[in-house]
Structure 1
């Protein structure tokens, strides 16, 4: 946010956060020390915040006691982001960027005069955001009309973050497309989209109305060709583009493919999501694509590094979420957040030192393969997201359980498993596709691989001695399984010890 706010407004935001975090009275002297500002400046800032709050919101106010003690008093429904948004959207840098998006910024001299500021001041503001624009491969240009020079793809990506990270769905910042127009079409087909996706569609519709079309790229059509959800999306989005724009069918199709490429990357899958199997099929069709190959390499490296075998459910949910993440990184240049820190990166940096070191060691293994450097070079963006996906995907609590298969002539597997569980609690029945740590059987059937040592044979009707013998075998397997150093590594990484 500091790129867009002037110094005095940024100081107000910093002081506001300070008094928001603790619901108590602060002395002006204490605030001056904590913020490294003079006490006189603090008193001025608090007076301005008090005045601003009366205009911005009715759920908070500055309480004053004994002339130099201050407290932010607020109700439960108060949102500090509403105040931040007000300051941000009233900054001249924000207004200039907003006009550039809507193609109404004629020249910097006129803008400076209209907003009662000097030309030199505006140039200083623009220079402050140039490093940020560079991250998106965009450049500020002021010929006949001020604009941001770069690909339309990067332009839209920047403005998606610009509007979503400043408005957060609290207000509608677009002037050429109304939210009602989009919602009406969605309701006609009984479709509900997250607000962030509605923002994205508004950005693409606005730019299309202004005559700025997305550049063609074979990747867009390749990505959508075998995707299970594209037909449904394109049916709805096509209605929007036909209703709101005057584009040709060919141009609309390109817009739909591009939008779907981006919106898909915002999708997150949970373990029980039935669409995971459809995405696995999608990956097979794109097996030679870099983002698929990078994902396969990632999972293979992960399992080798930590000596861990993922079950079918864990593998599926981890694979498809990594797939989208790697495609996103490969396709869009720039940070994931504007006006605030990357939440995933911040959370990762707050982990225990041992967890950070373990994750860094694994990442070092990843970057050994230069074939995928275009993706893995974005370590600051990826490492926190990788750790979050692992936490969401892998059930480390049951990781120590011994996987068993029971083969019984009497077909009483549920009963036998219950009895085994009484003998040794750390056991779990294998799914059909999993490999067992131990096969428990009443005889050596033809379909059992005889060469394996992981077989335990007992009586057709197990006796007390059979359970005692099995208990000792399971304890031995459990002990050996948990002596693996990499087993301790994965447990440390996942915060289980």
Structure 2
């Protein structure tokens, strides 16, 4: 009862969209408006927790010793160490270590430090508030607009983390992985000028230090972008992949594509292949760049989304992932199953259009040039048909006679009357169903269709 009373008082400060009322001394009622968000309440308690306050001070190099901290926050040393003990296993995942020599800090690479703090701040605020004190959101936004960097709240957070740490003198170390990543990237020269301009505005770093910061940040921002089938950058990035074809993230992506195509016996068109390959490429690069989970405090929304699908879809996705795991050469990539499986599932659903894939390509020859009308009739008869373009190979030619211009095996030709009768349409319906069943009812193709269904 006392806890609920305290929460009711807190709600008065947290939001105007909800309140707790006691009903007839028997139970409590939460009243809320349509615009009430429980995340607002979560954020309030999180940022006022001792753990949050301690790690926030570590980010800014302000955590000098535990004794001072506990006095300022009206707690005990024992209570603080209990919290630290609980967090240590999480830090291990990021290859970071809590130390308290001259002052409290986290030991590890600056790269890992920044990744941890991106998740720390992002999963605390989800872009609903600005947690950074050394750089203002408005200033960064103004500079992004000035140099024409596409807006994204996550990009803003990464910029704020890198700029804040640079201002504190905690600089990114050279690493060949992101140095090589920028070497043959088609947009690095243009994008680096924009990022360097922002670093010069906010910091007094040397040109060499800004170059390292820019390479690091560019590689992250590139991985955060999602590439669509019609994106012009896809073909340029395919050339980028050729330059890096011996890199592990490229080799793992090639293996993924080969395994996927073989496992489901699917043929991808050029746009589907390109978009899927490039998005996977960046996902695998990011996985190899950072150690640690994909989220803090909260559940992984990609994993949760997958788990909300029907059991059959989850099982199919797991079967495919087990197939990926068979090649030990890429174990370092695919061992991060808890991060990747949900993201793979989302990419497949976004990229592959299974509804338009299940068609039979046909061509129609008619003495009275009645092709459009005949196709509309066939489409009403059997929906899974598509007219070939001029240069495409037809799976079935439908014609009223054996013209000399028809260059096709006789078994792939269907002949009917110049004005088709009902019996002609009945015959054609059976023929199309036979072709469709043979082509699409294979077990592995049915698995893919189930996996990518709207259910």
TM over 0.5: yes
Inter-CA distance 108–420: structure 2 relative to 1 (3 Å threshold): same
The equivalent residue for 1:52 is: 10
Change in 2 beyond 3 A, CA 1:71/1:176 = same
* Cα-to-partner distance string for 1:304-330 (whole Å, 9 max, x where unaligned): 111222222322222221111111111
Note the C-alpha offset of 1:224: 1.6
SS of the equivalent of 1:117 reads: coil
Shift of 1:73: 0.8
Say whether 1:464 aligns with 2:417: no
Q: Counterpart of 1:360?
A: 318
Report how far residue 123 of structure 1 moved. 0.8
| C-alpha spacing 1:358/1:179, structure 2 compared with 1 (3 Å) | same
Matched, 1:130 2:63: no
Task: Please say if 1:184 is aligned against 2:142.
Answer: yes
Whether contact under 8 Å (1:141, 1:149) holds in the other structure is yes
Residue 145 (structure 1) aligns with: 103
**Structure 1 residue 352: deviation in Å?**
2.4
- Pick closer, same or farther for the CA change 1:134–1:431 going to 2, 3 Å: farther
Q: Give the drift of 1:94.
A: 0.6
Distance 1:51 1:491, change over 3 A: same
- Equivalent residue of 1:464, what SS? coil
In 2, distance between residues paired with 1:280 and 1:410?
Answer: 46
Q: Which residue of 2 aligns with 1:212?
A: 170
Partner Cα distance (1:93, 1:68) in 2: 35
- Which moves more between the two structures, 288-297 or 182-191? 182-191
CA drift of 1:492 comes to 2.2
Q: Confirm whether residue 265 of structure 1 aligns to residue 200 of structure 2.
A: no
Between 332-341 and 274-283, the greater mean CA deviation after superposition: 274-283
Deviations 1:12-33 (A, max 9, x none): xxxxxxxxxxxxxxxxxxxxxx
Tell me, yes or no, if the aligned pair for 1:456 and 1:470 is still in contact at 8 Å.
Answer: no
Check 1:438–1:243 CA distance in 2 against 1; reply closer, same or farther (3 A cut): same
Confirm or deny that 1:226 pairs with 2:184.
yes
Q: 2:199 aligns with which of 241, 260, 271?
A: 241
Residue of 137, 150, 169 corresponding to 2:127 = 169
TM-score by length of 1: 0.83
CA deviation profile, 1:170-222 (whole Å, cap 9, x unmatched) = 22211111222212212223444111111100100111111111111122122
User: What is the CA–CA distance in structure 1 between the aligned matches of 2:89 and 2:243, rounded to whole Å?
Assistant: 39
**Aligned pair in 2 of structure 1 residues 190, 492: CA closer, same or farther (>3 Å)?**
closer
Contact 2:263 2:320 in 1 (8 A): yes
| Whole-angstrom distance in 1 between the partners of 2:251 and 2:127 | 36
* Between 212-221 and 189-198, the greater mean CA deviation after superposition: 189-198
Q: Tell me if 1:387 matches 2:387.
A: no
Which deviates more, 375-384 or 396-405? 396-405
What is the deviation of 1:417? 4.5
Query: Residue by residue, what CA displacement relative to the aligned partner does 1:239-261 show, whole Å, maximum 9, x if unpaired?
Result: 11001111111111111110011
Pick which of 310-319 and 84-93 moved more. 310-319
Q: Which range is displaced more, 349-358 or 72-81? A: 349-358
Secondary structure of 1:169's aligned partner: coil
- The residue correspondences of 1:310-321 to structure 2 (distance < 5 A) are 310-321=268-279
Q: Deviation of residue 410 (structure 1)?
A: 11
CA distance in 2, matches of 1:174, 1:117: 25
Gaps of 5+ in 2: none
Structure 2 length-normalised TM: 0.90
Contact kept in structure 1, 2:363 and 2:398, CA below 8 Å:
yes
Contact 2:367 2:418 (8 Å CA) reproduced = no
Secondary structure of 2:117's counterpart equals: helix
